[in-house]
Structure 1
Amino acid sequence: MQIRAAVLNTMGTSRPYADSRPLTIETLELHEPGDGEVRVAVRAAGLCHSDLSVVNGDRPRPTPMALGHEAAGVVEAVGHGVHDLAPGDHVVMVFVPSCGHCGPCAEGRPALCEPGGAANVAGTLLGGDRRIARADGSTVNHHLGVSAFADHAVVSRRSLVKIDRDVPFEHAALFGCAVLTGVGAAVNTAGVVPGSSVAVVGLGGVGLNALLGALVCGAEPVIAVDALDHKLALARELGARDTFNATDENAVEAIRAATGGGVDYAIELAGSERALELAYQITRRGGTTVTGGLAHPDRHIRLQQAGLVTEERTLKGSYVGSCIPGRDLPRYLRLFRHGRLPVDRLLSGTLPLDDINTALDRLADGEAIRQVIRFD
């Protein structure tokens, strides 16, 4: 079948993207789902910094590539071997498919699935195939096994979580990346406990979800750090007790003073080595620093080794919020539906696919938290 999709042909295009238009809207051929695969009619797809990092070259991927990795939609068709989904089911797409059999999957760490990670780097689905092509027969790569900036997508069954049909698509889409990654960083990776102090550094869609996750865990106080005042204002509205502008040269000292020597958990989600260094500096003795921000692979941080030892510090990475999608996504949806995880307040607006390049500029400038492309 033919689909309309946003395709990246070359990374590193200059800004503004509204003029250079790195994503072109193309008519492509979508092949039928193979064994263990599902065709989904995409209804909503969130625009995330992980998309932007492919566009600007921070996360190199094979091109041409149909982008988009955070989405929700309706099952239209299933391939051989798929027995637990049927046409009409509503699903959320998860950007790391988990095979269920490799070492990490067997240990309950599907975010680290080895075949899933290899497929994502190669631009294929979990089974190693590509289901997108141009009219001339040349293949187009998949983005993180999803490629959701399109009206339809073929994905692995292992990339899908079934949800209730009454969840609005524009909200459900956010659970595939922003919510799993942000809330999971607080709940799963950090293991925030009630009454502990938490600082979140970097208040994009993922960072603000980490803040919500810390609040759900019963942290007190929860502190927000960012370079943009309007994001700090939103963090206060969501429940942060104190906010600090990261550009203040005395920010570290001010945060440590406000928290009696530092926080129990500092969670960095800015994707910047400077932000991670700040997060580490504001973590107390014996505390835990978590990073889920993806900086360019060439970026490095500097740490004092002696302090890591004598202060018994913990520095942890968090990918997809260390989540088990089939377990965590329904839990977070229940919290959302009971008003305890107000993810809908992070939605900056909806837009048509044709406006995606302008939306990239808003994301890069920090003007928007989460923009969602709607396919109605």
Structure 2
Amino acid sequence: MRQIQAALCHEHGAPLTIETVGLRAPLAGEVEVIIDAVAVCHSDISFWQGGFGGSLPAVFGHEAAGRIAAVGAGVQGFEVGDDVVVTLIRACGHCPCCASGQPTICETPVDAANSPLHMADGTPVYQAMDTAAFAERVVVDHSQIAKVPADLPKDIAALLACGVITGVGAAVHAANLTAGQDVVVIGAGGVGLNAIQGARIAGARRIIAIDMSEDKLETALDFGATDGVLATHMKPWKHVQRILGRGADAVLVTVGSAAVYDQAPRYLANGGKVVMVGMPHAGETASYPPLQMAYAGQSLIGSKMGDVVLRRDIPWLVDLYKQGRLKLDELISGRWDFTQINEAIADTLSGAARRNVIMMTSDTTTDRD
């Protein structure tokens, strides 16, 4: 069993500690990946806070990029040395959802007890989100990776593993936006900015960003929003209706707040849809006026990881980036050394960061903008 350094959580909300843990070799269908960069996502923070449950000790992190170090039996299409993104999207390939092109909601359960990580005394370490990328290496199912070009910087590649595909995919796949439609994106953080980019790529007429921060609304304009409305306004949906002349065709909620979900249908036009992207903590609930929504032909749609198909959508997004049509460099707020992971989490919690990236390789310069 290989010994690696990983950031462990022994108590929800307590600082992570970098410790030596054991990582077993990949089994059939699995790959081992050396992690070069991993971004801090709010889902990692929710797990760390205890909002999504899960056993302890645990290793979080799921938005990563690196190089394949070993390949298990039966894996095809990947070789040692391939540059890849590592995601939490684990798909069996044969359940009804996978067979219908929806691998993000694969129905085949994963045996959480079969973690590839163990403490020195043999205690299993929970592999959060089937990834555990706050570590030097991971062992994951081959369905969780996708190749990227060798010349794509790993900090940029890591963003493609979650925040970018979740936001862009929510607009393009889940909302199924068409040219000329009007869109509201609630939340101008990392995922929200990518939802804005997705709406722009899909050809939306007006893209209105909603956020509590004027600075974030300014940033949203740089990423393709046509308008910004402060969520602190009295009845901000009225401001949206004045801008559009009606409600929106789609409202993409990218923040994990049940209270925001309560308000989301107020922004809709007849026939519009709310796309649920942000994930509140377990147990939180939202309420809706079903009679009004049914009468207006409105709908609620869940979107997990942007409804993407990794090996179709990652090459597409890389190509858009290289063409200059998808902003990725501008998403990175700061680059941090692995030893600074708690500071990176704290900075993300402050609300100011778009995406903080942990650089795992020692030869990478750390900077914070």
Same topology, TM > 0.5:
yes
- For 1:101, the equivalent position in structure 2 comes to 94
Deviation at 1:72? 0.5
Paired position in structure 2 for 1:174 = 159
CA distance in 1, matches of 2:235, 2:272: 21
What is the CA distance between 1:254 and its match in structure 2?
1.1
Pairing 1:182-221 to 2, within 5 Å after superposition: 182-221=167-206
CA displacement, residues 171-198 of structure 1 (integer Å, 9 cap, x when unaligned): 0001110111110000000001111111
Q: Does 1:78 align with 2:78?
A: no
- Find the partner of 2:62 among 69, 79, 85: 69
CA shift for structure 1 position 260: 1.1
Deviation at 1:297, TM superposition (A): 2.2
How many Å separate the matches in 1 of 2:222 and 2:98?
38
Aligned residues: 360
- Distance between the aligned counterparts of 2:78 and 2:238, measured in 1? 53
Structure 1 stretch displaced more, 270-279 or 200-209: 270-279
Per the TM alignment, residue 292 of structure 1 is displaced from its structure 2 partner at its CA by 0.7
1:1-376 equivalences in 2 (<5 Å): 1-11=2-12, 13=13, 20-21=14-15, 23-115=16-108, 118-119=109-110, 123=112, 129-376=114-361
Query: 2 CA distance for matches of 1:28 and 1:278?
Result: 45
**SS of alignment partner, residue 144 of structure 1:** helix
Gaps of 5+ in 1: 14-19
CA distance in 2, matches of 1:236, 1:196: 18
Identical aligned residues as a percent: 37
Over the residues paired in the alignment, what is the CA RMSD in angstroms? 1.2
d(CA) in 1 for partners of 2:41 and 2:215? 18
Q: TM-score, length-normalised on structure 1?
A: 0.93
Cα offset for 1:83?
A: 2.9
Once the two structures are superposed, what CA deviation does each residue of 1:342-363 show, in whole Å capped at 9, x if it has no partner?
Answer: 1221110110111111111211
Give the secondary-structure state (helix, strand or coil) at the position aligned to 2:256.
Answer: coil
Which runs of at least 4 in structure 1 moved beyond 3 Å after TM superposition? none
Q: Secondary structure at the match of 2:129?
A: coil
Q: Would you say the 8 A contact 2:48–2:60 is kept in 1? A: no
When normalised by structure 2's length, the TM-score is 0.95
Cα deviation for residue 325 of structure 1 reads 1.2
Distance 2:184 2:194 in 1: 13
Structure 2 counterpart of 1:17: none
Shift of 1:88: 0.9
Q: Which amino acid aligns with 2:27?
A: G
- 1:273-319 deviation digits (Å, cap 9, x = unpaired): 22223321111111111111101221111211111111000111100
Contact (CA 8 Å) 2:31, 2:140: kept in 1 or not?
A: yes
